[in-house]
């Protein structure tokens, strides 16, 4: 799925499962990485932290007024975001929290359940 693809499932959905290169939520399966935003769940065309730049977070920045925390699932292992990405998010009032994708998916479910102002950028893992 390319970046121009704007299909999404409205609303913040709890993640039922992750792994095998994708995610399961709202009785749907999704192959590939995923963005969880206030507006809904969207495909995210990135498979590695090394691919990420500020443009990768354009959809997050567009909804920044509704987001306090961005959970960034960086794959199997924790990886840091580039300083320019952190600065762009911080400039819009969003705090980025990198963690493994599994931890990010579980934290997403808790924070969505608490109705927190959260978003998630989750790199799919096998």
Could you give the angle at the alpha carbon of 18 between the alpha carbons of 20 and 90, nearest 5°? 120
pLDDT tens for the chain, residues 1 to 126: 334 455 678 888 999 999 999 999 999 999 999 999 999 999 999 999 999 999 999 999 999 999 999 999 999 999 999 999 999 999 999 999 999 999 999 999 999 999 999 999 999 999
Running DSSP on this structure, what letter comes out for residue 81?
Answer: P
Is 0.75 surpassed by the pTM of this model? Answer: yes
For tokens 């999404």, the residue is: 8
Superfamily of domain 8-122: MTH938-like (3.40.1230.10)
H or E element: which one contains 62? helix 58-62
- Of the candidates 85, 79, 78, 8, the one whose C-alpha atom is nearest the C-alpha of residue 42 is 8
Q: Is 16 helix (H, G, I), strand (E, B) or coil?
A: strand
- What are the boundaries of each domain within the chain? 8-122
């Amino acid at each position: 799925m390319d970046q121009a693809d704007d299909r999404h499932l409205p609303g913040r959905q709890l993640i039922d499962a992750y792994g095998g290169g994708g995610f399961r939520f709202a009785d749907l399966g999704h192959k590939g990485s995923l963005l969880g935003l206030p507006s809904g769940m969207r495909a995210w065309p990135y498979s590695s932290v090394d691919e990420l730049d500020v443009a990768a977070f354009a959809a997050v920045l567009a909804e920044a007024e509704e987001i306090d925390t961005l959970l960034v699932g960086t794959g199997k292992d924790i990886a840091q975001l580039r300083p320019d990405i952190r600065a762009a998010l911080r400039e819009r009032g969003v705090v980025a929290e990198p963690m493994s994708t599994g931890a990010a998916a579980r934290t997403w479910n808790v924070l969505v359940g608490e109705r927190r102002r959260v978003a998630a950028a989750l790199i799919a893992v096998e």
